């Protein structure tokens, strides 16, 4: 499967996870391409059994969902590796991950092992924002699928400090830059934070 075609599967999977309907126009927007180009690739993916494409709606098949999950995992591993081992900022790590996510699986597996080893040794208390139980101050350490998250919540792009105000089963209310923001837990899953010691 060609690299650019894989990006379509990832875009569909991210839409689904964030509760957005994966449509032709939304996929074209996420990938920053024209709808006719997206249409051609989606038809190809439909023909190959990765998606079902009907009336502008895109649905991943079991085969497509499995491939998209694998690709997202690879992307996440590369982002983490560059941030943890090389100190590269999250935006640059995200861009690098786009370039390298198509490396062979064994390279990603080795990167993942190194990350696990480092986390075991690390004293940092990093968690997904969706797992935050306590009200208080947190620093954003990483945002996965950041282009999509930023398109929905642009304030997160410029502010790294947030205050968790209330936690519900399906959403979390945070204060960012003096504004209250309601984040669905599915989006909060893409945001890693570390609790601030001083508040």
**Any idea where the domains of the chain sit in the sequence?**
1-122, 127-195
Cα–Cα distance, 194 to 88 (Å, whole number): 17
Count CA atoms closer than 13 A to 152's CA, side-chain side.
Answer: 20
- Give CA separation, 149 vs 71, 172, 188, in Å: 18, 15, 9
Cα–Cα distance, 30 to 150 (Å, whole number): 11
Does 199 have pLDDT greater than 50? no
pLDDT at 5: 79
Q: How confident is the model over 37-46, as a mean pLDDT? A: 92
The domain made up of 1-122 has a fold known as Arc Repressor Mutant, subunit A (1.10.10)
The residue assigned the tokens 């379509």 is 8
1-122 with 127-195: one CATH topology? no
Please indicate, yes or no, whether the overall pTM of this predicted structure exceeds 0.85: no
Token pair for residue 167? 């936690």
Token pair for residue 135? 């009200």
Does 1 have pLDDT greater than 60? no
The domain made up of 127-195 has a fold known as SH3 type barrels. (2.30.30)
Q: How confident is the model over 106-134, as a mean pLDDT? A: 78
Does 25 have pLDDT greater than 50? yes
């Amino acid at each position: 499967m060609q690299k650019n075609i894989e990006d379509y599967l990832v875009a569909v999977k991210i839409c689904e996870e964030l509760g957005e309907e994966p449509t032709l126009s939304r996929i074209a927007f996420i990938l920053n391409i024209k709808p006719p180009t997206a249409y051609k690739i989606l038809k190809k993916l439909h023909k190959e059994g990765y998606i079902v494409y009907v009336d502008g709606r895109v649905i991943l098949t079991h085969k497509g969902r499995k491939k998209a999950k694998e690709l997202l995992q690879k992307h996440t591993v590369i982002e983490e590796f560059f941030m943890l081992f090389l100190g590269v900022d999250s935006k640059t790590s995200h861009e690098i991950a786009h370039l390298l996510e198509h490396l062979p699986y064994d390279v990603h597996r080795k990167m993942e092992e190194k990350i696990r080893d480092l986390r075991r040794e690390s004293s940092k208390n990093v968690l997904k924002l969706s797992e935050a139980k306590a009200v208080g101050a947190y620093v954003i350490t990483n945002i996965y699928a950041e282009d999509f998250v930023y398109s929905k919540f642009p304030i997160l792009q410029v502010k790294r400090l947030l205050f968790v105000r209330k936690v519900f089963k399906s959403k979390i209310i945070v204060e960012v830059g003096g504004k209250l923001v309601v984040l669905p837990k599915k989006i909060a899953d893409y945001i890693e934070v570390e609790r601030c010691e001083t508040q």
